[in-house]
Structure 1
Amino acid sequence: MSLGDEHDATTGGYGGSGQTRTRLPEPSGDPYGGAHRPGRRTSSRSLVTVVGVVVLLIAAIAFANRGNDGTPSDTTTANKPKAAATAPTGTKPVQSKTWGIPTGFAHDQQGVQSAAANFAVTLGSTDMFHTDTRHFLLEALYTPEAAAKLQGPMDAAYSADFLDKLGLDQDGNAPAGSTFVSRVVPVGTTVQQYNGNTARVDVWYMGLIGMAGEKSTDPVKSTWKTWTFDLQWTGKDWKIVTDTQKDGPAPVPGDDKAASSDEISKAIQEYGGFTYAR
């Protein structure tokens, strides 16, 4: 889903010249005498000169590469980039899964970010377009109070008319020969509030939604949104209390050639999703 850093590199040239003068013996009476063989001292001096040039070149290349590795030349802290909001830590995101849904997130800021990212993926999947699986997900991801309040409005939102506009039947199924696509790909997360048992987390993500098929009038397209989750620690895991979404931030579209319906369908079937971690 809609995810995605280049650095300009400038190389500098380094060079130098050196000369080695060799004193030849005085010519003999026969100008066409035998060829003269340089002394060992001359060979040593030439070797030293060559080695010196090679060492200088290696040092120059190393210096140039160090300057092109993306490291800022200015060492002041004001110009250094801050650490990424979402960075790998090596900590496992979850210890288990329940019916394919990640569960058992850590009771800390890493855990709450992992929970929010995975909740976005699950709630943005095609499972939400089927009544039975939607009810299950509401009960699994939300607090009991929130799930009870949301079930009615959610069923109304996923109405037969809404499903029909997406090309689905009243049960949320795509027509034969077509593939309905609905995916969320988190790009990053950030904690807005955290006090130990409650938290507010933003998930910036790229989404894919549409119908892949020859007769589709709603082709798969990408969207960029931010999903905000208010979460609560229930004593065993993080649960959703409320959630809202807003558009963006969206990058400038690239010049990528749009894939065919068959290519999109094949990609959706062949490429699975991930369990996301802070």
Structure 2
Amino acid sequence: MSLGGDDGYGDGYGGQDPARTGGTGRGGGDAHLTRTHLPEGDGDGYGSPRRPTRTKPSRNLITVVSVVVILIAAIAFANRGGNDDSDDTSTSSSSGSNGDGNGNGPKAEATAPTGERPVNGKNEVTGIASGFPRTEQGAQSAAANYAVALGSDGMFKADRRHAIVNAIYAPESAPGRQAELDNAFTSEKVLANAGLDAKGNAPDGMTFVSRANPVGTKVEKYENGTAQVAVWSSVLFGLAGEGSKNPVTEAWYTDTFDLKWVRGDWKVVKHAQKNGPAPVGRDQAASSAKEISDAVQGFGGFTYAR
């Protein structure tokens, strides 16, 4: 079929209807009209092909893709938070563990304070913590604080010593223990070794230092409202001041307390002390007498808890 002239080519689309073009047949004859149907997308010999039709994405498809992306982001965020927690837990447990690093070995027991508040009150006269809970941790906290009280400079003053004994000892044990301690702390030998006078006073210009610093506690026994607790402590003792003949030194002791639950608190019924364990001293220059004196007066003590 011809698309126009005798040469076999039409005029192109040229604004005409591509489906209907006028022309004559070859070899003469009556003129006639020829209707030609072209396949979609075809052009003439010189024209450009039609551009493919662009299809818009389905709204349903866009919605589904958006939901999937949000879900993936949420899962990734949740996994990230979980990994952080697990990493922290594995790090803290493996640092003191003898396991294989995969969580299959034994976990180290806690040696640091638990963070629980040890007491809610204190003795109004001595300031010693009181009201310890009836638990193993409560017994350890009580023993640590009692070791501090019995190792303080207040034990060298009669009125202060009596207040301390009555605050921490059980009622049936306090009188006998007070008599023993009076004899010990008023002896000339003990006072002379401490560099104090007969009333427990330090020489003018000197600061008397006696401070126990618990390092750890251990329950030896615990049953039926009774407990035996050992307290390992470092103790600073001596006179700080220029020309002191009894400079402040460090010593190590272990105090063992037999405790009894009395009227809502732990009280001492028996106390014993022994030397050590003592670590090797570090090669560290000793501070001046003034620095030690300032430190003792400037740094307060603690309420100890297990």
Same structural fold, with TM-score higher than 0.5 when normalized by the shorter chain: yes
Q: Deviations over 1:67-111 (max 9, x none)?
A: xx9476734899756314x43222111010113110000011111
Matched, 1:232 2:257: no
Write the distance in 2 (CA, Å) between the matches of 1:184 and 1:106. 23
| C-alpha RMSD of matched pairs (Å) | 2.1
* Superposed displacement of residue 184, structure 1: 0.5
Q: Which has the larger radius of gyration?
A: 2
Check conservation: 1:128, 1:134, Cα contact below 8 A. yes
Query: 1:204 maps to what in 2?
Result: 232
Q: Mark the CA change 1:257 to 1:151 in structure 2 (over 3 Å): closer, same or farther.
A: same
Q: What are the equivalent positions in structure 2 for 1:1-278 lying under 5 Å apart? A: 70=95, 74-75=100-101, 80=106, 82-84=108-110, 86-99=111-124, 100-161=127-188, 162-278=190-306
Distance 1:132 1:177 in 2: 23
What does the per-residue CA deviation read over 1:198-220, in whole Å, with 9 as the maximum and x for residues that have no partner? 00000011010011111211110
Deviation at 1:121, TM superposition (A): 0.6
Q: Which amino acid aligns with 1:164?
A: A
The question of whether the paired residues in 2 share the 8 Å contact of 1:108 and 1:196 is answered with no
Percent identity, aligned pairs only, is 50
Structure 1 partner of 2:5: none
* Matched letter for residue 262 of structure 2: T
* Alignment gaps of 5+ in structure 2: 1-86
Q: Deviations over 1:138-182 (max 9, x none)?
A: 111101121111122211101241213311111111111100000
Q: Do 1:160 and 1:169's aligned partners in 2 also have CA atoms closer than 8 Å?
A: no
C-alpha change, 1:159 and 1:80, in structure 2 (3 Å) is: same
Q: 2: CA distance between counterparts of 1:153 and 1:186?
A: 24
SS at match of 1:144: coil
What SS is found at the alignment partner of 1:138? helix
Give yes or no for contact 1:125–1:183 (8 Å, CA) kept in 2.
Answer: yes
Whole-angstrom CA distance in 1 between matches of 2:229 and 2:202? 33
Q: Which amino acid aligns with 2:100?
A: D
Conservation of the 8 A alpha-carbon contact between 2:144 and 2:304 = yes
Secondary structure of the corresponding residue to residue 221 of structure 2: strand
Instruction: Letter of the 1:83 partner, please give it.
Output: E
Bigger RCO (CA 8 Å, 6+ sep): 1
Q: What is the TM-score with the length of structure 2 in the denominator? A: 0.65
Q: 1:107 to 1:270 in 2, by over 3 A?
A: same
Aligned residue pairs: how many?
Answer: 211
TM-score by length of 1: 0.71
Q: Which amino acid aligns with 1:240?
A: V
Gaps of 5+ in 1: 1-61
Equivalent AA in structure 2 for residue 257 of structure 1:
A
Are 1:229 and 1:240, in contact at CA under 8 Å, matched by a contact in 2? Answer: yes
In the alignment, the residues of structure 1 paired with residue 232 and residue 178 of structure 2 have an alpha-carbon distance, to the nearest angstrom, of 25
